[in-house]
Amino acid sequence: MAAHTGVDSGFKFHPNCLKMKLTHLCFADDLLIFSEASVSSVKVIKAALVEFEELSGLKANPSKSSFYCSGISDRVKNKLLTDLQMKEGNLPVRYLGVPLISSRLSSADCGVLLDRITDLIDSWLSRKLSYKFNRFLWNGKDVEAAKAKVAWSEVCFPKKEGGLGLKRLELLNLRDIAKKFLRFEVGNRENIYLWLDLWHPAEILIEKYGYRAVYDAQSREEAKLSSVIHNGSWFWKPARSDDLVDIQASLLEISLWPIDKPIWTASRKGVFVSSDTWEALREKKEQITWWKLVWFPFAIPKHDFILWLAMKGRLVTGDRLLTWGYNGDVNCVFCRNQLESRDHLFFECSFSYRLWKFCMFRCRVDNVPIVWEDILQLGLNDWGCKSLKAMLCRLVLGSVVYNIWCTRNEIKHAGHPKTEEQLLKKILWEIRTRVVGKGRFPKNKENLVFCSLWNLSAEVLC
């Protein structure tokens, strides 16, 4: 286009595009071309499009294009429309739902765009977040606070503190907060601001002492550190205030280096690392005890997530529905005669206890606990090590909880629930496949017994 719009070409810029010599804008596969509404300018544009077509094989489709003009006679307009073979569009035109106008857009004008962006983010979340996190955690886009399964702020705690270990990007984007982590080692003093950067042991000087200190030191806010160093030594004007005495008293603690060196104090290595910075910025919670029962190297991801919700008491069980004013059936779908709660489903209900007990026997656990708290206690005491038995027990807990929860949902939503036998088969298969795929354990008497109980090939032993 630029090659065609030289001084002698006959092309004239649109009056509002002359200053920046703008001929066109591209967005994705859309093209907007601007020019003065004259026959000679349109001729140049046509020639440029033809040449582009010859070079690239991409042809502008006149039937899908529109021509917008104003301030010209009907005769010129008709001539231009005939030349371009395009239909006439009416201004103001909307692009991606937003009106293209030269004045400022109102918030109502942007509403359509915001809706589209929200839809896009929603669909992205649905696709990207495994197991449709957003639907599980927040019941979709219209969040009713009381019904959100786990608050976003809670999800962002590390796994050890009961969250999912996601990082709140908006916090990492807060540069002003993060700025306090940037400290300088003083070198050639040209890169460090005397009052605005963190180089002094006290803190950022202007933040601690205010503008008064800048004034008293007969300095400027934007002064560099070099203004108070001469020939490798500090060179301050005599202190005229207590604050300046304070500032100068600490100078001897500071070593002067050959070059200025920025240090990111939020990281052990001294350079910016987002995980360390997140660690320094985030709110801290007390560690929870059960996290290692949910998150461990061989855990099956879809099981993790349901088990995590169960640990936090956030699965939407009948007892919770009741507190939200739900007046449908809230009884256990398996035994039909008890209020459905987390502790009933896992595993006080006779149906789920049978499954749980069967699998625990295969892990050679004899006194199989029935109460949730007792199960956690057993897990914390006995399943923390790297033995095959500990791994099997943790996998069983995740798999049984997950499969009971899925079956419960299928029964509730009139799906095709598995029979007890099918369910058991599926649980055993899931665990066996996981161990065979991931595990390598010492060849000893106990592990040989587990191999035969779980029908594991000898490959898992070494």
Does residue 342 sit in helix, strand or coil?
helix
Token pair for 45: 């544009």
| Nearest distance from C-beta of residue 146 to Zn ion, angstroms | 26
Query: Which of 60, 57, 33, 35 is closest to 49 using CA atoms?
Result: 60
Q: In this complex, which beta carbon is closest to Zn ion, that of residue 345 or of residue 360? A: 345
| Nearest distance from C-beta of residue 171 to Zn ion, angstroms | 43
| Nearest distance from C-beta of residue 326 to Zn ion, angstroms | 18
| Nearest distance from C-beta of residue 335 to Zn ion, angstroms | 3
25 beta partners = 32
Which residues are at the interface with Zn ion (CB under 5 A)? 332, 334-335, 338, 349
Q: In this complex, which beta carbon is closest to Zn ion, that of residue 279 or of residue 343? A: 343
Q: In this complex, which beta carbon is closest to Zn ion, that of residue 281 or of residue 424? A: 424
| Nearest distance from C-beta of residue 401 to Zn ion, angstroms | 14
Q: In this complex, which beta carbon is closest to Zn ion, that of residue 335 or of residue 448? A: 335
CA-CA-CA-CA dihedral for 379, 447, 399, 422, to nearest 10:
-140
404 contact partners, CB below 8 Å, separation of at least 6: 345, 346, 352, 355, 423
Query: Which of 16, 21, 25 is closest to 6 using CA atoms?
Result: 21
Cα–Cα distance between 407 and 423 in angstroms, integer?
8
Q: In this complex, which beta carbon is closest to Zn ion, that of residue 86 or of residue 333? A: 333
Q: In this complex, which beta carbon is closest to Zn ion, that of residue 73 or of residue 337? A: 337
Query: Which of 452, 418, 454 is closest to 433 using CA atoms?
Result: 454
27 contact partners, CB below 8 Å, separation of at least 6: 95
- The one-character DSSP state at 420 is H
The number of angstroms, rounded, from the C-alpha of 124 to the middle of its chain's C-alpha atoms is 11
- The one-character DSSP state at 395 is H
Give the burial class of 249: count Cβ atoms within 10 A of its Cβ; 0-12 exposed, 13-18 middle, 19 or more buried: exposed
| Nearest distance from C-beta of residue 352 to Zn ion, angstroms | 7
Q: In this complex, which beta carbon is closest to Zn ion, that of residue 276 or of residue 348? A: 348
Q: In this complex, which beta carbon is closest to Zn ion, that of residue 37 or of residue 375? A: 375
Beta-sheet strands, E only, within 270-413: none
CB 255 within 8 A of CB 216: no
Q: In this complex, which beta carbon is closest to Zn ion, that of residue 129 or of residue 335? A: 335
Cα–Cα distance between 62 and 45 in angstroms, integer?
13
Cα–Cα distance between 115 and 334 in angstroms, integer?
43
| Nearest distance from C-beta of residue 302 to Zn ion, angstroms | 23
